[in-house]
């Protein structure tokens, strides 16, 4: 039976992210680049068994497939799906093609090329590259991970409020505690905040906060526990 095959793979917990950073990495680096652009987000209500909901969704939408089965579905014009969860928040993703999921969730489905996935202050999207390929080829696309606009404005306001009231050491510690993984767009956002902070400090003749305070190197994380 298909259900028994799915259950054996589900026990590996390859759909339960070990951290917010792990979920973002798995979605941006592994799923979006393989065409899983259509999505629905949800939250499992308190009191519901999260593992039972996982099993129900994975079985309902035939998500637990081998790569060979996925390739065959794609060849036939059928969509493939992925499911990932952190805590009680979950994300269902689908590729191009026919699928019952697209009928069931027609009014809720979003395309991350137009509407970024919002999760834990992150904004995850799939974007066209700004570079024009040599020889006039098709434009390239890439996953884009940013701090979402509201969170970014709050973060910038927080640092500007402290810019001339805290020492370099205190501000450096605050920057080091910013929890977001340092993807390139996030590095640029943090550098913009740092420039604004240092501009305010220069007006008051205070010492600048060094760029090293931002810890700009992104750490690769293990997306799943096993």
Asked whether residue 169 falls in the same domain as residue 114, the answer is no
- Outline where DSSP puts E strands in 103-175: 110-111, 117-119, 122-128, 141-147
Q: For residue 195, give the nearest of 177, 217, 214 by alpha carbon.
A: 214
Helix (H) or strand (E) holding 111: strand 110-111
Task: At 83, list the tokens.
Answer: 């499911």
Which DSSP string corresponds to 55-67?
A: HHHHHHTT----H
Instruction: Let me know if residue 222 belongs to a domain.
Output: no
Instruction: Let me know if residue 78 belongs to a domain.
Output: yes
Q: What angle do CA 6, 30, 130 make, to 5 degrees?
A: 150
Asked whether residue 94 falls in the same domain as residue 36, the answer is yes
Say how far residue 198 (Cα) sits from the centre of its chain: 30
Q: Which of 108, 132, 147 corresponds to the end of one domain?
A: 147
> Using an 8 Å Cβ cutoff, are 91 and 39 in contact?
yes
Q: Which of 119, 147, 175 corresponds to the end of one domain?
A: 147
Helix (H) or strand (E) holding 8: helix 2-10
Q: Report the interhelical angle of 168-176 vs 184-203 (nearest 10°).
A: 160
**pLDDT at res. 14:** 85
User: Per-residue pLDDT for the chain (226 aa), expressed as one digit of tens each?
Assistant: 233 334 444 445 689 999 999 999 999 999 999 999 999 999 999 999 999 999 999 999 999 999 999 999 999 999 999 999 999 999 999 999 999 999 999 999 999 999 999 999 999 999 987 666 666 667 789 999 999 999 999 999 999 999 999 999 999 999 999 999 999 999 999 999 999 999 999 999 999 999 999 999 999 999 998 6
Task: At 3, list the tokens.
Answer: 């259900």
Instruction: Let me know if residue 115 belongs to a domain.
Output: yes
Q: Which of 124, 147, 170 corresponds to the end of one domain?
A: 147
Instruction: Let me know if residue 206 belongs to a domain.
Output: yes
Asked whether residue 156 falls in the same domain as residue 142, the answer is no
Instruction: Let me know if residue 220 belongs to a domain.
Output: no
Asked whether residue 117 falls in the same domain as residue 33, the answer is yes
* Counted domains in the chain: 2
Euclidean distance between CA atoms 71 and 16, whole angstroms: 24
Q: What domain range includes position 137?
A: 2-147
Asked whether residue 172 falls in the same domain as residue 183, the answer is yes
């Amino acid at each position: 039976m298909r259900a028994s095959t799915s259950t054996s793979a589900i026990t590996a917990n390859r759909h339960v992210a070990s951290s917010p950073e792990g979920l973002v990495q798995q979605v941006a680096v592994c799923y979006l680049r393989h065409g899983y652009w259509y999505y629905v987000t949800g939250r499992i209500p308190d009191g519901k068994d999260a593992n039972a909901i996982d099993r129900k969704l994975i079985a309902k939408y035939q998500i637990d497939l081998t790569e060979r089965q996925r390739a065959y579905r794609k060849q036939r014009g059928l969509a493939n799906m992925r499911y990932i969860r952190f805590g009680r928040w979950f994300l269902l993703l689908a590729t191009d093609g026919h699928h019952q999921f697209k009928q069931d969730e027609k009014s809720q489905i979003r395309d991350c090329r137009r509407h970024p996935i919002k999760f834990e202050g992150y904004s995850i999207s799939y974007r066209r590259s700004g570079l024009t390929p040599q020889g006039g080829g098709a434009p390239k696309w890439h996953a884009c991970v940013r701090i979402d606009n509201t969170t970014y404005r709050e973060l910038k306001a927080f640092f500007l409020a402290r810019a001339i009231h805290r020492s370099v050491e205190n501000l450096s510690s605050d920057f080091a505690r910013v929890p977001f993984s340092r993807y390139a767009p996030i590095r640029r956002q943090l550098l913009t905040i740092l420039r604004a902070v240092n501009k305010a400090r220069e007006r008051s003749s205070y010492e600048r906060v060094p760029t090293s305070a931002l810890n700009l190197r992104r750490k690769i994380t293990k997306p799943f526990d096993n």
